[in-house]
Amino acid sequence: MNDLKKATSALISVFSKDGLEPIVQKLNNLGVTLYSTGGTEKFIKDLNIPVIPIEEVTSYPSILGGRVKTLHPKVFGGILNRQNHEGDVAEMAEYNIPQIDIVIVDLYPFEKTVASGAEEQDIIEKIDIGGISLIRAAAKNFADTLCVSSVDDYSELLELLNAKDGNTTLVDRKRFAAKAFNVSSHYDTAIFNYFNTSENLPVFKVSYNQGQELRYGENPHQKGYFFGDFDAMFEKLHGKELSYNNLLDVDAAVNLMGEFNNEKPTFAILKHNNACGIAQRETVLDAYIAALAGDPVSAFGGILISNTEIDKASAAEINKLFCEVVIAPSFSREAEEILKEKKNRILLVQKQVELPKNLVRTSLNGVLAQEKDLKTDNLSDISNATDNNPTNSELEDLIFASKVCKHTKSNTIVLAKDKQLCASGTGQTSRVDALRQAIDKATSFGFDLKGAVMASDAFFPFPDCVEIADNAGITAVIQPGGSIKDQLSIDYCNAHKMSMVFTGTRHFKH
C-alpha cells in the first residue's frame, strides 16, 4: 500500500501568526492552494501570496461577530472525505467540494485569558468552536489529511515540507494527529475545570502538556516521568538532571519553607521528604549551621533550602557537605561560584509562582484527590488548655515546631528549642514510638531538652506522651486536641507545671 500523499491544498486559520510566514512561503512555492479566514487571510495577502477566502468556498460570510466562519459542509467535507472511498469521491464531485490536504489551525488562548483575570464574557468568547472542530476533523482523517494544531509544531512541519517536497506518509500524519488530539483534549479539560470551579461536579480531569522522562522512578527498575512546567518555578543554575526522588524532596522542601516566607532567615535540610534539620536565625549562615546541627548524619546527600539569599559565607559552609540540591530565592555571585565547584550539585533559584491547591495520588483502581492542607497554625488559633500558660519564647517555639510538624510524615512528634529542630519522630505507627524516637535522636546529637517544646500532628488519647516528654525536660506542648480523653493529658500537665495549647487543627501527612 502506498501511503505517500502529495499536498495540493491547505486551510490555514490561526489566532497567533508567530512563525507562520516561512510555512506559507514554502506551501506557496510547492504550488499548494491556500484557503483562509479573517486575519489569517489578510496576513497571507500581505505577503503577496494568493489565498482563497473561505467565504468563496461556502458562499456564506463570517457571521455572528466571527463566531461562525468555517462550520460548513464544504469545509468539513473537504477535510473528512476518504480519498479511496468511491461514494465520498462521487459526493465531492457532486457538491463541488474542494479537497483540503493540510489543516493548520490553533485555538483561542482560553487558559491565558482565564489566568489574566478577565471578565467571564471575555473568557467565554475565547472558547474556540470552529478551531477545535477543524482539529478533530483533520486528525480523525489522518489517513488522508495532515493536521497541524499548534505553533509548537511549525518547525517540524517546515522540516517535513522541505525534506519530502510536500509529501507526507501515514506515519507522519498519524504522529501529527496524536499531537492534535492532545491539544484538543487539553483544551477541553481546561474549559471543564474552569466551569467546575463553581459547579463542583464529582469529576476528576487533569492535563499537563509538558512532560519529561526521568532517568528512572523511585528505584532504578521503575520508569519515571515528571509532567509540569518545571522552568516556570525554578531557574536551574548548575548540576545534573533531577531524579524522581530529587523532585519529591524538592516538593517537600518548597512546601515546608513556604511556612516561613517573609520571616527571618530560615534554613532547612530534608531527607526522604522530612526535615532532618531546620532553624531560624538572624543570618542565613547561622540558620544553616543550626539546621545542620539538628542531624549532621542524615544531612549527607540531603536537599537544602533557604528562604533568603545564600551568601558567600554560608556557601562556603554548605560546600563542606555532600548534598544533592540547594534551593534559594537567589545566590550571590560568590556563593554561586563556590557551590558550582561540585559538578553534580543541583542549584535552583526558586521563582514565586502559585502552587496547586489540590493534592492527587493514585489509590486502588482510581485516584484520591483532596484540598491541600493550607492551614498554618498561628497565635490566634491556639487556646490554653492548662493552668500554666507558655512563655512568649515558648509560644514562638511552639508555632515553629507546629509548622515543621505539619510537613513531617505521620505519626510524628517534633521537638524544638530556640527556633531550632532538635529532632523529630517520623512515620511511626505509634505516637509514643515517635516521641521516643525523637528524644533518643535529640540526645544522641547532644541536645539539652530542658525547656524544649513538643508538637504533635494529632491529639493524645492517653497522657503517656506528655509524661514521657516531661521526664525528658520538655515544658510546653502544642497539639490539636479533640480526644475524649484530653482531660487526662491536661491533668498531668497541670500536676507537673507543664503548659499545653490546643490548635483545633489536625495535620496528618501520609
Q: Which residues are catalytic?
A: 140, 272
446: left (phi over 0), alpha (psi -120 to 50) or beta: left
Let me know if 19 is exposed, middle or buried by CB neighbors in 10 A (0-12, 13-18, 19+).
Answer: middle
- Of 12, 55, 2, the residue nearest 32 (C-alpha): 12
Assign 3-state DSSP to the chain and report helix, strand, coil percentages, each to 5.
Answer: 40, 20, 40
Distance set, CA 229 to CA 7, 226, 327, 367, 426 (Å): 35, 9, 17, 22, 31
Distance from C-alpha of 473 to C-alpha of 468, rounded to nearest angstrom: 9
Query: Measured on CA atoms in the order 288, 289, 293, 295, is the torsion positive or negative?
Result: positive
Distance from C-alpha of 209 to C-alpha of 207, rounded to nearest angstrom: 7
Distance from C-alpha of 225 to C-alpha of 215, rounded to nearest angstrom: 9
Distance from C-alpha of 402 to C-alpha of 380, rounded to nearest angstrom: 14
| CB crowding 281-320: b at 16 or more within 10 Å, else e | beebbbbbbbbbbbbeebbeebbbbbbbebbebbbeebbe
Beta partners for residue 311, in sequence order: none
First to last CA, the chain: 56
**Residue position matching grid coordinates 477566502:** 53
Quick one: how many helices (H) and strands (E) in the chain? Answer: 19, 23
Distance from C-alpha of 355 to C-alpha of 13, rounded to nearest angstrom: 35
Q: Is the peptide bond before 392 cis (omega within 30 degrees of 0)?
A: no
